[in-house]
Amino acid sequence: MSNNRGSFSGKIGFVLAAAGSAVGLGNLWRFPYLAAQYGGGIFLLVYLILTITFGFALMTAEIAIGRKAGLSVVGAYRYLDKRFSFMGYISAIIPMIILPYYSVIGGWVTKYLFAFATGDSKEAISDTYFSTFTSKPIEPLIWFLIFIALTAIVVLFGVDKGVERVSKVMMPVLVVLTIFISIYTMFLPGALEGVKYYLTPDISKFSVKTVLAAMGQLFYSMSISMGIMITFGSYLKKDVSIEKSVKSIEWFDTGIAFFAGLMIVPAVFAFSGGNEEALGQGPGLMFVTLPKVFDVMAGGTFMGITFFLLVLLAALTSSISLMETIVSIFQDKLGLGRKMSCLIVIGICLLLGIPSSLGSGIWSEIKILGFQFLDFFDFISNSVLMPIVALITCIFVGYIIKPKSLIEEVELSGPFKRKNLFVIVIKYFAPVCIVLILISSILSGFGIWSI
Ligand code: PHE
């Protein structure tokens, strides 16, 4: 079954492709906004601690499962224990739910890049530009289709020729651009207050919600619990160190999120005169506030183009990994060719993406459980299905196949230094934390308790 599967040429290709999946809108848009909302420095600190414990253990487990089985997510669970085949199906559904709405947002980013590149940046700074654009029926759909087409082209070229090649170029560019813009922003007048807010942990701002928000962000940001890392692991050669790869991916993901915060939080302070409320805008923060920032900056149009190009590249590498995961499931399970699988995925994207896009405009009155389409898909995947998958993964690894079997897989390519940490997190720490996230996110999703 695993014949004709692509493979990564080595550690660098693997790390860049996995980091490409992890680094996306979650880092550039969601992380800074959450950091701002949940107390700046204290959120950052909690996030970092969770990354090196929880994130490390779950990502290692997923990559090791994938490589051990040599199959994408549906086959991998069945291969390791027949009773857990259902896990493959749940984790396969998650990327199918995320990809369509992710592409809608990717389309918005593409539109902003286009607006800046064609000299429309003056209009993009108006307060209503974002809402006027996203509520139109046709135009956002066209950008959504462009975004899906860009993703599909890379996936069609296959793993090593497509995903790996694109990631190898995109990721280093992304790192350089993020650092460049954040340094630029830090030197803006008034930005220093924001830098302080972002970097100094204020214990009085700590609460359970800080931990829960940081943990939810961790799932999303590291692309764990949706079969993506299992699929990538199945393409990984046995002599590449899983532990070192995970470390590098974490550095990439957390580093980019850190600099994204440093680029956005101080900028908002600088341009709102220190008004902390301006930090709480969510989606608006990136699309509404930053163009204003670019407008008053010297060379702002150039900065705007650079920034939205950066976000587009990051979003694309993530959407490529989502599509790749689904395509590889269709290839393995249904024996379909790559082209056919891609076509089916595009069909799913249209089916779920069109309502997500129209939900910001003419369909905004239609609600599922009180959510508009896009928010509903986001909630179901990130706040319900991903914690469930993560929890069952921990039980599966900790108590069914036992950590030992994955430790052996990791040790195929050298010693596993953080073995004890891995076992403790998988068996005890992670399951307890995940149950907490799950309860809180469901309560907050139904408006009983807001995180
Ligand atoms: N991890 C990506 C980000 O931070 C988002 C993503 C989620 C990518 C799920 C793939 C799968 O934006």
**Does the beta carbon of 228 sit less than 6 angstroms from any atom of ligand 1?**
yes
Which amino acid, residue 136? K
- 160, pLDDT greater than 70: no
Q: What is the residue with the minimal CA distance to atom 8 of ligand 1?
A: 318
**Does the beta carbon of 28 sit less than 6 angstroms from any atom of ligand 1?**
no
**Does the beta carbon of 223 sit less than 6 angstroms from any atom of ligand 1?**
yes
Q: Report the separation in Å between the CA atom of 26 and the middle of ligand 1, taken as the mean of its atom positions.
A: 6
- 42, pLDDT greater than 90: yes
Nearest to 57 by CA among 375, 428, 421, 445: 421
DSSP symbol at 416: -
Q: Report the separation in Å between the CA atom of 291 and the middle of ligand 1, taken as the mean of its atom positions.
A: 24
**Does the beta carbon of 232 sit less than 6 angstroms from any atom of ligand 1?**
no
Nearest to 431 by CA among 400, 387, 401: 387
**Does the beta carbon of 322 sit less than 6 angstroms from any atom of ligand 1?**
yes
Q: Report the separation in Å between the CA atom of 228 and the middle of ligand 1, taken as the mean of its atom positions.
A: 10
pLDDT tens by residue, 114-148? 999 998 878 888 778 888 898 899 999 999 999 99
**Does the beta carbon of 21 sit less than 6 angstroms from any atom of ligand 1?**
yes
pLDDT tens by residue, 188-225? 888 899 999 999 998 888 887 788 788 888 988 998 88
Bridge partners of residue 368, in order along the sequence? 371
- 1, pLDDT greater than 60: no
Report how far residue 361's alpha carbon sits from residue 78's, in angstroms, rounded to the nearest whole number: 42
3-class DSSP assignment, residue 371: strand
- 2, pLDDT greater than 80: no
Write a three-state SS string for 92-128.
HHHHHHHHHHHHHHHHHHHHHHHHHHCCCHHHHCCCC
- Mean pLDDT for 336-347 is 92
Report how far residue 227's alpha carbon sits from residue 97's, in angstroms, rounded to the nearest whole number: 13
**Does the beta carbon of 24 sit less than 6 angstroms from any atom of ligand 1?**
yes
**Does the beta carbon of 151 sit less than 6 angstroms from any atom of ligand 1?**
no
Nearest to 48 by CA among 212, 235, 255, 234: 255
Which amino acid, residue 155? V
**Does the beta carbon of 17 sit less than 6 angstroms from any atom of ligand 1?**
no
Note the maximum CA span of the chain. 61
- 180, pLDDT greater than 90: no
pLDDT tens by residue, 86-96? 988 888 889 99
- Phi/psi of residue 371, each to 5°? -105, 150
- Phi/psi of residue 210, each to 5°? -60, -45
Where does the pLDDT of residue 250 fall: very low under 50, low under 70, confident under 90, or very high at 90 and above? Answer: very high
- 21, pLDDT greater than 70: yes
Residue 405 has what pLDDT? 94
pTM for this model (two decimals): 0.85
Q: Strands, E, within 336-386: which ranges?
A: none
In this structure, are residues 373 and 134 in contact, taking their beta carbons and an 8 Å threshold? no
Q: Could you tell which of 101, 223, 286 is best to mutate to test the pocket of ligand 1, judged by most ligand atoms within 8 Å of the CB?
A: 223
Report how far residue 208's alpha carbon sits from residue 222's, in angstroms, rounded to the nearest whole number: 21
User: Mean pLDDT score of the chain, rounded to an integer?
Assistant: 86
